[in-house]
Structure formats: structure tokens, C-alpha cells
Amino acid sequence: MSLISPEALHERLAEPRLRIADVRWYLGKPGAGRAAFEAGHLPGAIFLDLDSDLSAPTGPGRHPLPDPGSFARHLGGLGIGTDAFVVAYDDAGGGVAARLWWMLDDLGHQDVAVLDGGIGAWTAAGYPLSTEEPAWPPARLDLAPRWSKVIDREALVPRLGSVVLLDARAPARYRGHVEPIDPVAGHIPTALNVPLDGNLGPDGRFLSPDALRARFRGLVGAAADVVTSCGSGTNACQNALAMRLAGLPDPLLYPGSYSDWSRSGMPVATGPEPGEPPLN
């Protein structure tokens, strides 16, 4: 299971192995996610911060992946163990929650899901929020020692034009009309703009597997290799989740994404077209 409905999660709230993680996060607003959590969250949830809990302090891009061993020990210390059923949620269409899903899934955890529709769908269904934060006993979390479905900038550059590169950012950022945080506006040459909200219906929940399959088949065709990216390797995971729900092969993740690319001195493209691969 990679996606769980509010209704199904509500029925499982009493399961001892359930671990719910609130991962709300807001660009350029440090501490706002934690404040939102403290104001009201799903019963039994703990808060995980994208910047400090799901990213390394330093590395390529704004949210580099942490060392898998350190990540496992950290989550284990918070009470998330190997036998846990982990549910992540946000209020951003799964754009942050999918990061935790992707990380655990990539490292081999067998039971992790994103709450479909996030906290908005939970409250719309009439379910309550809480201000209490649990303290789970430490647990052992066994994960793989290295990330597997990833590609870095050095490996990506010579493959541009042969792989299908997806960019999950909003169209205005992709086209270079605005850039709120990275040093250069635009996108990685050859990238296709695949905004994450295109995977969702009007209710904020994911489209049906058939609809998602049609969307991505129209973009990637029969390409053997697909790479998903965004600003910092976070929202890109929502496209990876959508492809999993569609029954398509998992893409590679470019963890540094545009934040790494735009700091590297590599050329960028602007406008609505993907652009040509840079000369190697």
C-alpha cells in the first residue's frame, strides 16, 4: 500500500504498530510546519521536519538525502521501527509527505503510505484533530545501507536527451518567470514540466490509477529511464508516487534537483519548451 484514504486510516487508528508523521512544511517559512502541527494534527501523529529530519545538513541542493544509517537510527529513536505501519501526511497534495514515503520505500521499508488528500481530506471527512503529541518508545529500524533509485548531476548530464526528465515545479518557476529561492530562474535543459497538482482531482486526492497512467504515458511514452526532479528533491517524490500508483516503473530521483543544478554553473533553459541538452 502506497496510499491510504482518511476513511481507511480512521479505522486503523488503534493499531499498535501505526506511526503517523505530520510533515507539513512551507517554503521560506522556517518553523511554520511545527506551528501548524502544534495547532492541530491527526491523533497520534508526531512531527517530522523536512529540513532537520528528512535532509542532511549539507550536500548537493537544499534538501540533500541523509545518510541511510543515520536516518534509520534517528527514526528508530522516535519510535518508528521495522514493523511499523508508517503514514505520512501534509497539506500540500502529498508534495512533502511523498518525500518520507519515497525515503522509506527506497530503503526497503515494506509498510509506508501517504494519506490521500492530507489533513484537508481528514477534516473534510469529519474526523477530529488533536494537540497531544505521543512519545513512542525507541525501536530498531532496519533499512538498506544506501539509496538505490537515485542519480546525481554528474551522472545525469551525459544522459540528458536520452532519459525523460520530469520537473514537478509550478509552471511559473519552470519557465523562469519567478524564482523565490534558487539563484537562477529557469529549468534543467530537456526537462518536461509535470506539476504535481496535475496528479490530483478537485478534492485534493490522487486521480485514479487509470487517469495517472494516461497522464504519464503521454509524457514518458515507452522510455526505459525516467528521472524525476523539482526544486530540491522533495516534490519530485510525489510524481514518483503517482507513477507507482499508475503501475508504471519507478523513476530515478535527482535529489539535488534544480537547487543543485542552478548552483553548479550549468546552463539553464527558460520558457515553456524543454530545450536542448547542454554540450558535454
Q: What is the pLDDT of residue 280?
A: 59
| In a domain? residue 277 | no
* Cβ proximity of 242 and 226 under 8 Å: no
Q: Is 55 within the bounds of a domain?
A: yes
- Mean per-residue pLDDT, 177-190: 95
What ranges in 13-152 are assigned the alpha helix state H? 32-39, 68-77, 97-106, 118-124
- Residues 204 and 254 occupy one common structural domain: yes
Q: Which domain holds residue 110?
A: 3-124
CATH of the domain at 83: 3.40.250.10
12 is a domain residue: yes
Same domain, 111 and 21: yes
One domain for residues 105 and 215? no
Rounded to a whole number of angstroms, the distance between the first and last alpha carbons of the chain is: 41
- Specify the DSSP class assigned to residue 63: S
Mean pLDDT of 195-218: 96
Question: What mean pLDDT value characterizes the chain?
Answer: 96
- Residue pair 182/231 in contact (Cβ under 8 Å)? The answer is yes
Task: Report, as an integer, the average pLDDT of 65-69.
Answer: 98
Cβ neighbours of residue 239 closer than 8 Å, sequence gap 6 or more: 166, 168, 194, 196, 199, 228, 251
How far are the Cα atoms of 23, 153, 184, 189 from residue 158, in angstroms, in the given order?
35, 9, 21, 12
Within-domain flag for 275 = no
Residue listed under C-alpha cell 515545479? 169
The residues assigned a catalytic role are 230
In sequence order, the β-bridge partners of residue 193 are 167
221 pLDDT more than 90: no
65 pLDDT band (50/70/90 cuts)?
Answer: very high
| Whether residue 152 has pLDDT greater than 90 | yes
Task: Tell whether the model's pLDDT for residue 278 goes beyond 90.
Answer: no
Question: Which of residues 1 and 50 earns the better pLDDT score?
Answer: 50
274 is a domain residue: no
Query: Is 80 exceeded by the pLDDT of residue 191?
Result: yes
The DSSP secondary-structure symbol of 250 reads P
Question: Which residue matches cell numbers 491523533?
Answer: 43
* Same domain (yes/no): 91, 160: no
Q: Is residue 27 domain-shared with residue 105, that is, in the same domain?
A: yes
pTM for the model stands at: 0.96
Q: Is the pLDDT of residue 223 over 80?
A: no
195 has a pLDDT exceeding 80: yes
The pLDDT tens digits for 245-262 are 999 999 999 999 999 999
